[in-house]
Chains A and B, each alone.
Chain A
Amino acid sequence: MDFQLSEEHLMVQKMVRDFVQKEVKPVIQEWDRKQEMAPFILPRMAELGILGINIPVRYGGQGFDYITLGLVCEELEAGDSPLRVVMSVHMGLNSMALLQWGTEEQKQKFLTPQATGEKYACFGLTEPGAGSDVAGMKATARREGDEYVLNGEKMWISLASKAHHALIVARTNPDADPHDGLSAFIVELDRKGITTGDIHGKLGMRAGSTGYIAMQDVRVPVENRLGEEGEGFKIAMSCLDNGRYTVAAGATGLIRASLDASVKYSHERKAFNKEIGQFQLVQQKIAYMVQQYETSRLLYLKAGWLKNQGVRNTRETSLAKWYATDASFDAASEAIQVHGAYGYSDEYDVERYLRNSKGGVIYEGTSEIHQLMQAGYALGYRKDADLRCELPAYDAEYWQAEG
């Protein structure tokens, strides 16, 4: 067993941390108040190569491993959660699905421009009436010759209004078992019949883009179907294995940010003639944050290691996501408590941490869904079905070759 990050990991971590510190932290409060995504975020992340961090160089990426993706997500969310959300949807839920399930033509056509950052990508699974109940979705894709005609609405879609490509899951066979009647498509969002927009008035993630994709008779060529017809449910679930990984790593960053802010304030703030860090009840909060950070980090790094090995990790990723997001909500809440009244104001970052943390507890499987999954595995009720295409194990030589 080796707990040592590589020199590459540490250098990437520092580079992304510097980017967040220098370019994002100074302005993030302003964009959070405006409830808008800062326009420089996506182009800058693209320019720096972050949008293709763990995609093989031959497909326009940077050729790093899955652990690097986790470390990047931790650094991004230590700055602001919507930064990490970019990686969840663009990378975890979309680009990695193309890497796992895409044909060579699809990788060239969609994955490469996404990895270079020329195109942004999102993921359309959730609907106004279907969240945890994926199989209950209403969107349809009707085959007509060499095309599919898509209709329906996707809701709570991060980057809906910014992305060029969306991975859309829709029902292709209304008569089949719901788990066999879904198919996945890569849809260019400038196709006729598509409308997108942002949702405002969210509790958190205010400096991010969350929206909807409405589809009315959208014609998509058969070549855009990802995987086989009827494989949509399995593809969607495999996407979540990767998206949840980024959420877990990001939530770990949010815990770290809450801890760092609390430690700093505990040294600065004095009450009863001593710094508040001297009080045991404050120390208890700090201790729990340390525990939550270290535990979350171990869980997500283990999931990342399993991905590197090419070992199925649905169970471990679910556990990491459940634990880290719940813990991030706790840590952010306690960070506010440490800050007292100042923590209640947006003069300090911790109130934003709390508002942002709640999203992670809900999306990509609510904490309740993950509890059911973990109990199901433990009780033997739940087994992972084999997939026709597994996420490829990390092979440094292949990943880094020019192709």
Chain B
Amino acid sequence: MKIAVFVKQVPDSAAKLSVDNGAVNWGDAPLVINPWDEYAVEAALQLAEKHNGEVAAISMGGEDAKEALKHALAMGAGSAMLISDAALANADAAAAAKVFAAAVQKLGGVDLAIFGKQAIDSDTGLAPAMTARVLGWPALTMLAAIPALDAGAKTIKVERAIEEGRQVVEGKLPAVLSIVKDYAEPRYPSFMGIRKASKAEIPVWSLADLGISAPESKVRWTEISAPPAREVTSEMVTGANADEIAAKLADLIIAEGVL
């Protein structure tokens, strides 16, 4: 079974954001692999281990994005490739989806294309469904579990984490999946994996290598502004014992209309 897992290099979640001259500024926050993508890599590795598959990690971005790919390699991915092209500098989710789909086609024979549920920088969560649309594959998103997968029969049964609970869905392969936190705690990179990753030469694919022209981005950022700072007040709830504190807290929650 061949699995493509998509990862993105993003500013650390502890980054302090500001808007400077109409552009988002992440400050000097270190770049890390998108935390949601670590769950996607974990899912890809578990599926590959169970079904004797291979995992290829793919990222789109500049040289920095190689770090995310190396993280995936160190976790256990078998190969990695970077899609980098100056024409993709301001690609929106729809444009990125066309590029991701082309990468899946270039890899060839892919049964599963796996994403994290969203990237913590743009937070749109659109890439999985849009990539599925371009490929013409089923999109099975927000997966908390994959209770059954038959690589031979090309069928899959998944559990989606939705607001109301878990939704069980059956589908056919090839498919695009997105993974949520409940799936499994991502493994740490292994030391042997770190050595392999640090020595890895990661191939770079341009749009020409993918055989596509620069896809048009539909989204225009006409203005970017920081949300107004919220006024927050805090109140300590005290009492003689836990029961009394809980009762006071419950009264406050009801009074504030939270419940």
Contact = CB atoms under 8 A, between A and B. Distances in A.
Interface in A52-90: 53, 62-64
A7 B198 contact: yes
Interface stretch (B117-125, B147-155, B183-191, B239-247): B183-191
Given A48-B190, A64-B191, 15 more contacts: A6-B198, A7-B198, A8-B195, A11-B70, A11-B74, A11-B198, A15-B188, A18-B188, A19-B188, A49-B190, A49-B192, A62-B192, A63-B195, A64-B195, A400-B195
A11 B32 CA distance: 11
B45 to A, nearest CB: 16
B207 interface: no
A62 B198 CA distance: 14
Contacts of B195: 8, 63-64, 400
Interface in B48-104: 70-71, 74
25 contacts: A6-B198, A7-B70, A7-B198, A11-B70, A11-B71, A11-B74, A11-B189, A15-B74, A15-B188, A15-B189, A15-B191, A15-B194, A18-B188, A19-B188, A48-B190, A48-B191, A49-B190, A49-B191, A53-B191, A62-B191, A62-B192, A63-B195, A64-B191, A64-B195, A400-B195
Interface string B186-225: 0011111011011000000000000000000000000000
Contacts of A63: 195
A45 B70 CA distance: 23
B16 to A, nearest CB: 11
A12 interface: yes
Interface residues of A, number: 15
Interface in A1-53: 6-8, 11-12, 15, 18-19, 48-49, 53
Contacts of B74: 11, 15
A62 B194 CA distance: 10
A11 B194 contact: yes
Contacts, number: 35
Contacts of B192: 49, 62
Contacts of B191: 12, 15, 48-49, 53, 62, 64
Contacts of B190: 48-49
Nearest to B189: A15
B173 to A, nearest CB: 33
Contacts of A400: 195
A49 B192 CA distance: 9
A49 B195 CA distance: 13
The 6 closest A-B pairs by CB, nearest first: A62-B191, A7-B198, A8-B198, A11-B194, A49-B191, A15-B188
A48 B188 contact: yes
Contacts of A15: 74, 188-189, 191, 194
A6 B194 CA distance: 11
Give the residue among B189, B190, B194, B198 with the most A Cβ atoms within 10 A.
B194
